[in-house]
Amino acid sequence: MSRGTQAIIHLQNLRHNFKVLSQLASDKLVLVVKADAYGHGLKNIVKSLHHVSYFGVATLDEALRIRKIRKNVKILLLEGYLDAKELELTLKNRIDCVIHQQQQIDLLNQLNSTMRMNVWLKYDSGMNRLGFNDETYPWAIKQIKKHRNVAEIVLMSHFASADKIDKKRYSDFTCKQKQYFLSYRNEEPFSFANSPALLNNLKEKGEWCRTGLALFGVSPIAGKTAKDFNLKPVMSLKTTVIATKNIKKGQGVGYGQSYQAKNDMKIAIIGIGYGDGYPWSLSENAYVLLRNQAAKIVGKVSMDMMAIDVSHLDGVEVGELVLLWGQENSMILPVETVANNANTIPYVLLCQITSRVHYEYLE
């Protein structure tokens, strides 16, 4: 705790975002909270969203964790069951499953039970990840529709490029994905839109929307921040100054001496590094906020600390607060900006925070 490295989770912002997204999705919303709720802490996130009726996760372990917290909420297992034991557990715990390959239907056929589940049947519309293709999807639909263990069926697919819209026109590939998938739509409920599709107004009337990153107040669309969509950042990552140092022109900073001081300067050492999940690979534009002013990161990020240029700030002292991303009072540094300066995406930054960062949940 002495380093002051904290991830502050603003639960009121989380609920604000849920309200905004629910309105966009006409209340047909599956909140995707996989990967420990995108690094925000699955247990606390699920517990704080009292009026949510549907959560989506990637793994069975995640689904079972939610079931312990919320006895009656609907849960969608996005990768589905992968063997007979997992199938039994999903049925026992009333977990809805994505079915994306014939092997899963075969396992369902071998089931000696009258228990039923809701199935989301996945079509691969061109992403080439999970899902049946044009040759196998019609047969899969036919099998699932008449299956004794299936209660409800939802047809689904997944956008690959919904975050890319040029001059307000859908990309050719996105148009083709919609065309291919919607050709299978009949009377069944369906789901295609993810966070970028929902924010880019690509959703179809009446469909289930699956949103993850946007729930946490982060834009999945390049060149946009959460503020552009009336979303608020849920996580603020901050630390403190643990030392200051005056260095002379020509002296190096950090491993490899990759940074050489062009003038006499003052640096501050702050208590965060790649061991806490801060990215090691940064562009020359990377910075943090100290006293609501940008302080450029200099030298390579170490495991436990990194250096910032505070030459332009008078009397910086040990213990002063440094904002890595998010918001702290009047200081705002969007995680989208930090990701861009680290040559990565916000998903990675949020999900790679390590266990030694202290989490605090604020109502």
The reported pLDDT for the residue numbered 140 is: 97
Among the listed residues 19, 85, 176, 255, the single catalytic one is 255
Angstrom distance (rounded) from CA 218 to CA 221: 9
Classify 90 as helix, strand or coil.
helix
Fold of 11-219: TIM Barrel (3.20.20)
Q: At what angle do helices 102-109 and 84-92 cross, to 10 degrees?
A: 70
Catalytic residue flag (residue 255): yes
Query: Same fold for the domain at 11-219 and the one at 235-362?
Result: no
Q: Would you place residue 166 in the very low, low, confident or very high pLDDT band (cuts 50, 70, 90)?
A: low
Which residue's entry shows tokens 């200051």? 244
Which residue's entry shows tokens 């099998």? 143
The 10s digit of each residue's pLDDT in 309-362 is 999 999 999 999 999 999 999 999 999 999 999 999 999 999 999 999 999 999
Catalytic residue flag (residue 266): no
pTM (predicted TM-score): 0.94
Q: Which helix (DSSP H) or strand (DSSP E) does residue 12 occupy? A: helix 11-24
| CA end-to-end distance (rounded Å), the chain | 21
The reported pLDDT for the residue numbered 184 is: 85
The 10s digit of each residue's pLDDT in 71-94 is 999 999 999 999 999 999 999 999
Nearest to 254 by CA among 287, 309, 288, 302: 302
Checking if the pLDDT of 170 tops 60, the result is no
The 10s digit of each residue's pLDDT in 33-68 is 999 999 999 999 999 998 899 999 999 999 999 999
Among the listed residues 28, 34, 184, 287, the single catalytic one is 34
- Dihedral (C-alpha) 171, 172, 173, 176: value to the nearest 10 degrees? 120
Higher pLDDT, 127 or 289: 289
Q: Which residues pair with 165 in a beta bridge?
A: 170
Domain boundaries of the chain, sorted by first residue: 11-219, 235-362
Angstrom distance (rounded) from CA 342 to CA 319: 25
The reported pLDDT for the residue numbered 149 is: 96
Q: In degrees rounded to 5, what are phi and psi of residue 37?
A: 55, 50
Considering the segment(s) 235-362 as one domain, its CATH architecture is Beta Barrel (2.40)
Checking if the pLDDT of 167 tops 70, the result is no
Checking if the pLDDT of 299 tops 60, the result is yes
